[in-house]
Amino acid sequence: MAEPLLAAQDLAVTYRSTRGPVPALANLTATLGQGEFLSVLGPSGCGKSTLLKVVAGLLKPSGGTIKLAGTDITGPRPDIGIVFQQPTLLPWQTVLDNVLLPVRTLGMDLRSGREKAMELLELVGLTKFATHYPNELSGGMQQRVGIARGIIHDPKLLLMDEPFAALDAITRESMMIELQRIWMATGKSVVFITHSIQEAVFLSDRILVLTARPGRSVKDLRVELPRPRTLATMADPRFAEIANELRTFFDTLVRA
């Protein structure tokens, strides 16, 4: 069996506050395979974003280990890309320059970076908007810029923190289709944070379910649905069965 790309073992995070310690994660164990799409699902406040910060190297765990490609994650590293809940684009920079931001930050070759940026803008359907500014784009288009920026430096792992949370329902569905297409074209390994069961089932190879705070991994569900998935997939009885299984499981957690 191949070694996992990402491995968390007995991960724990406790915040310090004036009211005493606040446990956010406890004894969390999970893995991610190469090229796999993993969604992390759980109730509000369960530590999903805390987990993402630990994986990104932005927050040190209080206990346990977190490894990427067999090495400890001890801080931010160039082989991890991040797409945030908000696009966080620089308003004074063009779409192309926003995508190029990691290239400049990491000191990569700018000429080849521009070529890659244009390839990615074509992939996300924004070639014609390369010279536009963020305020000239819709919310969904801005998030596509964010995705292109997150993968331009060819990271081993892409982290996505509820990237569609601020979008309306119709745009969210469109972006789920787009993200699946981009993921299938690039083969990136993805950890996708969400509170939407529908998003998780539609996008994922596997779904990791966390308990309420402190977040513990209590279910690891493989999504056996053929790809590419379409909007019609959400009307498939198997899709409904998986979604209902998750809803029932959460209801059981709440009652426990």
d(CA 146, CA 79): 16
Q: Which two tokens stand for residue 107?
A: 């000191």
Q: What angle do CA 103, 108, 113 make, to 5 degrees?
A: 60
The domain made up of 39-59+77-255 is a member of CATH 3.40.50.300: yes
pTM score over 0.75: yes
pLDDT of amino acid 233: 96
State the amino acid at position 231 in one-letter form. L
Strand-by-strand arrangement of the 71-72 sheet: 20-32, 6-17, 63-68, 71-72
Q: What distance in Å separates the CA atoms of residue 13 and residue 172, rounded to the nearest whole number?
A: 31
Q: What is the pLDDT of residue 12?
A: 96
Give pLDDT, residue 142: 96
Q: How far is CA 109 from the centre of its chain?
A: 27
pLDDT at position 256: 57
What are the domain boundaries of the chain? 39-59+77-255
Evaluate whether 106 touches 76 at the Cβ level (below 8 Å).
no
Closest to 25 in 3D by CA, of 251, 171, 217, 162: 217
Q: Is the bond into 155 cis (omega within 30 degrees of 0)?
A: no
The residues near 217 (Cβ < 8 Å, ≥ 6 apart) are: 28, 29, 30, 208, 209, 210
Give the helix/strand (H/E) hosting 72.
strand 71-72
Taking 50 as the pLDDT cut, the residues of the chain under it are none
The total number of residues shown for the chain amounts to: 256
- CA–chain centroid gap for 252, Å, is 26
State the Cα–Cα distance between residues 246 and 207, nearest whole angstrom: 10
Is residue 223 within 8 Å of 173, Cβ to Cβ?
A: no
Q: Can you give the pLDDT at residue 225?
A: 96
The token duo for 115 is 């070529």
- Burial of residue 84 (number of CB atoms within 10 Å: 0-12, 13-18, 19+): middle
- Which pLDDT value is given to residue 15? 92
